[in-house]
Amino acid sequence: MVVKNRLIICTTVVGLIGGAAFPAKADSWTRGFVVSAYEYAFRYGGRPGFTRGAEIEPGVDCPHGSTIHFANSDQTRIALARQKWRSRQEIDWIIAPPGLDQVRDPAMVRVDIWDRAISYRGYKRGIETYVNPWAADDPGQPEVTSRIADGFNLDSQIGANDFVGPDGEKGIDNSLYRAWGCDAPWRGNGNAEFGLRVNDKMQSGLFTMVVRISGNQDPMNDSDATVEIGYSPDKIVKGARGSIAADYSYRIPKSDQYTKLKAKIKNGVVETEQVEHLHAPRIAWYFNQTGDANFANGIIRLNIASDGLRGTGLIGGYRNWRDLYAEATFPFNAGGQDTSHHQDHLALYFALRRNADGMYNEKTGQYDGISTAYRIKISSAFVVDADEPMDIPIKDYDLWQKNAFEAIKANTIKGIESRIPQDVPPGNIEASYPRLERRIRDLPSRDFFLTTLDRPHYPDGVGMDESGNPIDDQGNRIDKLDE
């Protein structure tokens, strides 16, 4: 139901003491918003009018270009040649599988073979790369060289390597942008492939995030305001033309993805206090990625339009770089993501570790966090408390994927910290298993790839296919009735 009033203002209270009036209490007010766009605060240093085919201009922020990992066979050959234990024949056959023209879908068969090969790039055979990225050589990641970035001065210092904000503020900390901002799918002038994907999935119901601002003075100028941010169980409502519908109601439960902060507002700019932990939903485009994005030393800045109907802003803080690596790498099989989208999450691992700059760990003498900023857009809504305490709903149908993701994330972090190779937990379809087994049945060189290339192995009934069905070690469903 649409409610007419966008700004809720409580009536003024006037009282008398001994027949004399005491000063009136200021009007209290509340404004609510639903987040309509949510993405990493990466800038794009290219020219908005650049139109050279489908190419993304390098831009002044990435003079070395965007990532080109696995964009062609030459790049894949370079990646495979780093493993000294691979034979020349193995590399040649991976690049150009013999008999490829005889299969039904040669392009996808080649992608799956490349996926399986690049998933094992460790110092010896049998070590899965993405779960154990520390066990492979750093293939190199183009990094941002620009001095301008969106974000916050999280440590209240101005360092030699800090960015400068677009408004001239010095000391901006956004090392995630430096490490990841040249990655091809995240680059673009508002049309980055993965940025569009995240927002499309969010607006289609994957998750909802809301913001509620309240105070006792004036919505545009208030020295004692409050900002609440968190997950909502209610799906985003869209209008007939696909835009976010205004003034619908959304609940905000006090869940693990909720934070309440003190704030000050000046001329419509909302600036919160910096808190030890700021909890909000993660950026995600699959259900298994969803969860709590915990920003250490977190802070929020919002710019509210004069009509109070919309706004833009940033959420910043330090995020555990290991969490970020896992969330980016395992929404589905990592090697397939890299071959399809010209990324290399192995390179991302080294870039994140190299640029970590917060959450100092005295035990290890290293930083566990990397400074980040997330960009948001907000649209007018009514944000109301849930009628009763509630947890974030779990989609039973996709629960196996969520459990598999959490298991591979745990193994990855364990391997990074212990430097002991960890296995791939079942259900993660890493190295395109068991999809490759099905796709290469008609490939003349099938036996070579099945016996030469590494992959995960599980006892019969423990492994799972893409739909969560139990399979044997050869990738065949074991619960399928004979027809």
pLDDT in tens, 84-142: 999 999 999 999 999 999 999 999 999 999 999 999 999 999 999 999 999 999 999 99
- Which residue type, as a one-letter code, is found at position 27? D
What mean pLDDT do residues 411-422 have? 96
- What are the C-alpha distances in Å from 214 to residues 228, 232, 252, 383? 9, 18, 14, 11
Closest CA to 32 of 210, 203, 205, 261: 210
Closest CA to 338 of 112, 87, 56: 112
Question: What percent of the chain shows pLDDT beyond 90?
Answer: 76
Strands of 206-304, DSSP E: 208-215, 222-232, 249-252, 258-266, 269-272, 275-281, 292-304
pLDDT of residue 480: 65
pLDDT grade, residue 53 (50/70/90)?
low
Q: What is the CA radius of gyration of the chain?
A: 25
What mean pLDDT do residues 332-342 have? 91
Residue 57 pLDDT > 80:
no
Q: With 0-12 CB in 10 A as exposed, 13-18 as middle and 19+ as buried, what is 203? A: buried
Token code pair at residue 247: 């003034």
Count of beta carbons in the 10 Å neighbourhood of residue 239: 9
pLDDT of residue 16: 43
Residue 44 pLDDT > 50:
yes
CA quadruple 286, 291, 295, 299: dihedral sign? positive
Between 63 and 16, the more confident residue is 63
Lowest mean pLDDT among 33-37, 102-106, 237-241: 237-241
pLDDT grade, residue 467 (50/70/90)?
confident
pTM above 0.85, yes or no: yes
pLDDT of residue 19: 45
DSSP state of 141: -
**Average pLDDT of every residue of the chain:** 90
